[in-house]
A and B are shown apart, each in its own frame.
Chain A
Amino acid sequence: DTEVTQTPKHLVMGMTNKKSLKCEQHMGHRAMYWYKQKAKKPPELMFVYSYEKLSINESVPSRFSPECPNSSLLNLHLHALQPEDSALYLCASSLVGADTQYFGPGTRLTVL
């Protein structure tokens, strides 16, 4: 199984809502990542977890709150988002100490 899955595929939320994005992989990868991708731009790294501990936070606003409850799951909790946060949110995973990152299909987020 070489797949990273993400749910939901699409999410529309208001600025006062609280929602969560979910990412799952069963490749035994212990490094997991959240990226944000705006239209016609490359992915931008947001967070990195290594062995279920947050190792990198790229100065992301606190309205984005990541969580890694176990080695297969990665969540991104969203609260009080702004319309400019609308984007494709990508999850990726890799072996710790390995270079190759595998991306999921993404969640298309629209903030109204």
Chain B
Amino acid sequence: QQQVKQSPQSLIVQKGGISIINCAYENTAFDYFPWYQQFPGKGPALLIAIRPDVSEKKEGRFTISFNKSAKQFSLHIMDSQPGDSATYFCAASPGVSGGSNYKLTFGKGTLLTVNP
């Protein structure tokens, strides 16, 4: 019940295309859903995050869509660029209200390659 399932494992997109990564969870106590971007040899960097009270959040070319009833959330990268090539991790935590805000449960990651 603590798992976050992420798909696809890898994704190849042409420059200018849309990259879509999906995550699903089962624990209804999860209250905070961040996406992290990680380049090789670097630490994960917070990209964008959402809470269940909104269905969509957009920051520049990055959008999170959230479906509370389906317990799914996804990351959309519009106008994908070669510089977006990285590993993307979705994550979830119970958040402050859940009392265990420290424990992020990560998906297994998606390796995105954007071809020029």
Contact residues of A with B, CB < 8 Å?
Answer: 4, 6, 31, 33, 40-43, 45, 48, 50, 55-56, 88, 90, 92, 94, 97-106, 108
Contact = CB atoms under 8 A, between A and B. Distances in A.
Contacts of B109: 40-42
A94 B96 CA distance: 12
Interface stretch (B40-48, B52-60, B63-71, B77-85): B40-48
Given A42-B89, A48-B102, A106-B43, A97 B34 contact: no
Contacts of A56: 102-103
A98 B41 CA distance: 27
Interface in B80-116: 87, 89, 91, 93, 95-96, 101-104, 106-109, 111
B73 to A, nearest CB: 15
Given A40-B109, A42-B108, A98-B96, A103 B44 contact: yes
B37 to A, nearest CB: 11
A103 B38 CA distance: 10
23 contacts: A4-B43, A40-B87, A42-B108, A42-B109, A43-B44, A43-B89, A43-B104, A45-B102, A45-B104, A55-B102, A88-B41, A88-B43, A97-B96, A98-B96, A99-B49, A100-B34, A100-B49, A101-B104, A103-B46, A104-B43, A105-B43, A106-B42, A108-B41
B99 to A, nearest CB: 10
Contacts, number: 62
Contacts of B32: 99
A4 B111 CA distance: 24
Contacts of B104: 43, 45, 101
